Amino acid sequence: MTLALEGIRVLDLSWQGPGPYCTMLLGDLGADVIRIQEPAASGRRAAKKPTGKPADERGRAFDPHGRNKRSITLNLKNDAARMIFYELVKTADVVVDGFRPGVSARLAVDYARLKDINPKIVCCSISGFGQTGPYDRLAGHDLNYLSVAGALSMVGRKGGPPVVPQNYVADFGGGGMHAVMGILAALLARQQTGAGQHIDVSLTDCVMSLMSRDFGSYLLTGKVPTRGETSLSGALACYDVYETKDGKYLSIGSLEPWLFAELCKALGREDFVPVQGKPEKQDEMRTFFRETFKTRTRDDWFAHLRQFDNCVAPVLAIDEVVQNPHVQARGMIAELDHPTLGKVKQVGVSIKMSDTPGAIRSFAPAQGEHTNAILAGLGYGAGDIQALREQGAI
């Protein structure tokens, strides 16, 4: 089976959040992804206990961010290891790093150095605040980037504090996916120019891009949108989440008048149809919805309301998502054969392609699992490899 990115080699210098997610997506689409890992954590990171990164075989089998990748250990502070990395760069198309600005230059693996080795190389640097600007060297996590980009100010109920979301927006929807788009665009541009380039992905920039409509509204009107007071953040009773009889929740998203009319028809309150967007009617409608939805279970309501042309969905917990028939029909829970653990499930490939579909071809590797094979492919003999181990290069 031909894969869309077959023949593209990616060197992955990232180790947390958006970088591994980016290279997972590239690997799913067929790229040969080689993780460049430290033989052992050094400096401040040596004292950090790993979270969500199990090293045992079972943990690796269920680790989607490590799948479709090979692993080589290289101590990039060692001259011999850096020479190996340069040899790999000659064979590669893409280098992804998640370093804070300045680190790749300090390690001599920055684009300015690598393009001299391989003029066609595409380098993608993923960082919280970008490679330039007064915040470029600040440490941060998803929550901090949401804060600076303005997204956190929009999440929460009217009159309440900002609500801490999971790290899906800045890390994955922002940095990880924008990095993939930038890399694919750079590879396409390379076909025209013959040269690679450097991609500067700032998670903060990416969140602002995701918020482009909010910024467009503010720049047009000068009015600052406030959480809980916009049509998509809780101002409208027809776009909200309601508790049901069994303590679960149902989401209603019937914004368009014709969809809202169907909702009202299903609930026997067609008198609400003409007043859908009137501010003075929101409390009355919301009170009705709250009281009504508590009279039946979530699944009963969903079974009833889905018969009408309105926007309704059950709020599912992760264990329910895994068992959901629609999710299963879409192949988003993939069942794989593991050589020692039997059947293993992972999140499936999200990008559906008719002719060159993505695939999960291998499980996450053990750290340095492919070091010997990769070095042998570069022409290193067994004695050379042993010498590199003895000097701490690998």
- For 109, list phi and psi in degrees, rounded to 5: -125, 25
The side-by-side arrangement of strands in the sheet containing 239-243 is 239-243, 249-253, 312-314
Q: Which member of 136, 141, 309, 338 is catalytic?
A: 141
Which of 92, 140, 109 lies closest to 378, judged by CA? Answer: 92
Neighbouring residues of 392: CB distance < 8 A, sequence distance ≥ 6: 39, 75, 78
Under 8 Å between Cβ of 145 and 203: yes
Alpha-carbon distance of 83 to 66, in angstroms, equals: 25
Estimate the share of the chain in helix, then strand, then coil, as percent rounded to the nearest 5: 45, 15, 45
* SS3 labels along 149-176: HCCHHHCCCCCCCCCCCCCHHHHHHHHH
- For 155, list phi and psi in degrees, rounded to 5: -105, 115
Neighbouring residues of 180: CB distance < 8 A, sequence distance ≥ 6: 22, 25, 26
Q: Would you call 335 exposed, middle or buried from its count of C-beta atoms within 10 A (0-12, 13-18, 19+)?
A: exposed
Q: Which member of 63, 142, 171, 205 is catalytic?
A: 171
For this structure, is 171 an active site residue? yes
Under 8 Å between Cβ of 202 and 211: no
The torsion angle over the Cα atoms of residues 203, 16, 363 and 196, rounded to 10 degrees, is 50
Catalytic machinery residues = 141, 171
